[in-house]
Every structure is written in C-alpha cells, then in structure tokens.
Structure 1
C-alpha cells in the first residue's frame, strides 16, 4: 500500500508540474499573440533610401547585416540557452528561453525556464515588467513601475543587435560620436532610455553601454555581442554576455547562445 501511495504522489507531482509549465506557456503565448497582432504588420520592405540620415557607421552596418529588403514592421522569434546568476555570492543557473521582438516599436517578451523558476521579462510600449514564478504555479516576485520601465526599455534597445531591423524605428534618434561609436535615444509612450553602440574593425557591433536599474540603484551596464552568423538572412551575434559595471568591480550575470532564429 505504501508503495502505491508513493507512486501516486510521484504521478500527481508530475501532473502538477506539467500543468504549471502548460499554464506558464499559455500565458506567454497570449501575450505574444497580442504583441504581434498590434505591432507586426510585415509590410513596407526596407530600401536603401530608408537608411538616409543615419550616421555613416550605422548605415554601413545595416547594409552589411542585411536589413534591406526586410519588413520595417516585422518581428523575430529566437531561442536561447545560457546561464544566469542573481548575485556575486551565488553560482550559475542554466536556463532555456524564447524571446519575441518587434521592430517598428521596440518591444520584447523574454520567457525563460530555470527550474524551479519561470521568468518573464518584457517591455511593451515603454512599459516594463519582470515576473518570477515558481513551477508556473505561483508568482514569487514582480517588478514594475518607472524604474522597471526604463531598465526594460534599455535592455530592449541594446538587444536590437539581435534584430537590427529595429534600429530603423521612428522611436529612436541617432547621433554620431566618433569613428567607432554612435549614441541612440529611444522614446516610447513616455519612457526614455539611451545608450552607446560600439563597432569593431569589421563594421559590426561589438558592445553596448547604458545605465539600467539594478534593484533601486542606477548602474552602468554593458552588453557584449560575439560570434556573428547569418540566420534567416540577417548577420547577427549568436552569443551575448551581460555585465553590471559596479563600483566594486564588473559582475557578469548573464550569458547566452542563440539556438534558433526566425524572422517574420
């Protein structure tokens, strides 16, 4: 009898965990459908004339990576695998994630599974939100408000390296700094963010610097792009590292590799 009870408990736990995963994925799918329906029309292909007025560095880069001919108002879906850690005292946790982005307005939804935690980070129309869920069944952390809005939009701006079509968004203003960098300012529905993109000798983006909120403190942040490959007709970085540049030293808390990439 005891053996049957143990087997029943194991089966029940399995069903509960599967239900949590199903519930979490359904919620993300609904958010994605709403996002794409509103912001992804997949019309009006980009021409070389759309690049006029941009800093020369950026214009050359956009031609090189293949944005000409892509829809101005499209979207991208890509999957990642990587590692993340929440503090310098803790170790790395493996995760798998899927990310959705739109171009005409810079938006993203990032959904990650790092068992037992499910994480959803997003910036849509300038409104950011980070949600941490236990087994897909119970929210254990939620961040929103003005600081989250700014931090999420800054992340979205930097991660347009994964979807360079988004650099042509009317929400972004560009300024040439020197022969290796350009400054971007993005303004979406009352939320503003800015950062500097740096180029390597091959004319590709190497890293991005901005300021983001880490908890309640505004800190320097660097995103490093590496290992460029052509995927779905775009030359993009397939690995990325995220680093907080803190007073006590740099803290790399995130790294990932793209495992699948589809432009829509």
Structure 2
C-alpha cells in the first residue's frame, strides 16, 4: 500500500512539473507572438544611407559588426546559459534562458529557468513586466510599474548589442559625447530612458551604463559585453555581465553566454 502511495505521489508531482513547464512556455509564447506581430516583416535590407544620421562612432561600429545588407525588421532568438544571484554575498544560481528580440519596434521577451524558479521579463511597446513563479505554476512576485517599464526598456536598449540592427530604430535619439562615447535616449510609447555606450580601441561596444531601478531605488548600472564572434553574419558579443554600481561597491549579479543564436 505504501509503495502505491509513493508511486501516485511521484506521478502527481511529475504531472504538476510538466503542467508548470507547459503553462510557463504558453505564456512566453503568447508574449513572443505579441512582440513579433507588432509590425509586419518586410525583410527590407539595411543600406549605408540608413546609418547617415548616427554619430560616427556608432556608424563605424555598425559597419564593423555587419548590419549593412541585413534584414531591417526580422527577429532574433537567443539561447543563453549563465548564473544569477540575489545578494552581494549570496550564492550563484545556474539558469538557462531564451530571449526574443525585435529591431522594429525595439522590444524583448526573456524566459529563464533556474529550477524550481521560472522568470519571465519583457518590454513590449514600452511596457515592462517581471514575473517570477514557482515551476511556472504560481507567481511568487509580479512587478508592473512605471519603474519596471523604464528598467525593462533600459535593459532592452543596452542589449541591442546582441541584435545591433535595432540601433537603427527611429525611437532612439543619439548624442555624440566624444569619439568613444555616445548617449542614447529611447522613447517607446509612454516610456523614456537613456544610457551611454562606450567603445573600445577596436571601435566595438564594450559596456553600457545607465540608471535602473533596483527594487524601488534608482541605481547606477553597467552591462559589460565581450567575446565577439560572427554569428548569422553579425559580429556580436557572446558574453555579458550585469553589475550594480552601488555606494557600497560594485555588485555583479548576472552573467551569461550565448549558446545558440538565429534570426528569422
């Protein structure tokens, strides 16, 4: 009798886990379809004239990474593997994730699994959301606010280095600071945010700096990118580190590698 109870318990647990995965993936797919269907995919190609309005450092960077001749309004699907932690002295937790990105309009959906915690982060038409759930079954925390909108759009802006065609979007206003630094202000819907892109000696983006909300506090943030490789004809970074620049010191809380990349 006890053996039967154990078998039934394990069977029920497995069913719950499968249902959680199914439910989570269904919600992610719904957001992805909303993002991908905001505008039609014309597959028009980027020309050199499309770069004319940009600061020289950004223009030279985009030529170097190979955006000319690429589709203007396709989508990027990126798989990641990495680590994340919640506290400065906390333990790293492994995760895998899939990120969907669009260049026109600029937006993303990020779905991560760090068993048993699933996270869905997004910015669609300037509206952000962070949904943390237990196995995809029950939400532990859901963040929806003006601050979330700004932080999500800021993340979206900084991570365009993964899909640099998005830098051509007319929702971004550029200001040339010097030969190695540009300021970008992005406005999508009712949400506005800004940040600074730094270029290395090779003319490639090596970091993005901005202010983002950590809980309810506006903090300095740095995203560092490295290990550029040619994938799908684009020369993109395949590693990223996310760092809070706190008064108490820098707190690196996220790092990941791109393990798969495609454009459609």
TM-score range, shorter chain: over 0.9
Match of 2:171 in 1: 171
Match of 1:137 in 2: 137
Q: Residues of 1 paired with 2:52 and 2:100: CA distance?
A: 28
Aligned CA distance change for structure 1 residues 40 and 67 (closer, same or farther; 3 Å): farther
The TM-score, its normalising length taken from structure 1, stands at 0.98
Superposition map of 1:80-159 within 5 A: 80-159=80-159
The TM-score, its normalising length taken from structure 2, stands at 0.98
Superposition map of 1:152-231 within 5 A: 152-231=152-231
Contact 2:38 2:105 in 1 (8 A): no
The Cα shift of 1:46 comes to 0.5
The Cα shift of 1:42 comes to 3.9
Q: Which string of whole-angstrom CA distances, capped at 9 and with x for unpartnered residues, describes residues 149-201 of structure 1?
A: 11110000000010000000000011111111111000011110100000111
Match of 1:43 in 2: 43
Query: What secondary structure is seen at the aligned counterpart in 1 of 2:94?
Result: strand
Contact 1:40 1:102 in 2 (8 A): no
Aligned-pair RMSD on alpha carbons? 0.9
Q: Residues of 1 paired with 2:32 and 2:42: CA distance?
A: 15
- Structure 2, gaps ≥5 residues long: none
The Cα shift of 1:53 comes to 1.9
**Segments of 4+ in structure 1 off by > 3 A?**
none
Contact 1:40 1:75 in 2 (8 A): no
The Cα shift of 1:69 comes to 1.1
Q: Residues of 2 paired with 1:165 and 1:180: CA distance?
A: 20
Contact 2:66 2:234 in 1 (8 A): yes
Q: Give the paired residue count.
A: 264
Q: Residues of 2 paired with 1:21 and 1:94: CA distance?
A: 18
The Cα shift of 1:40 comes to 5.1
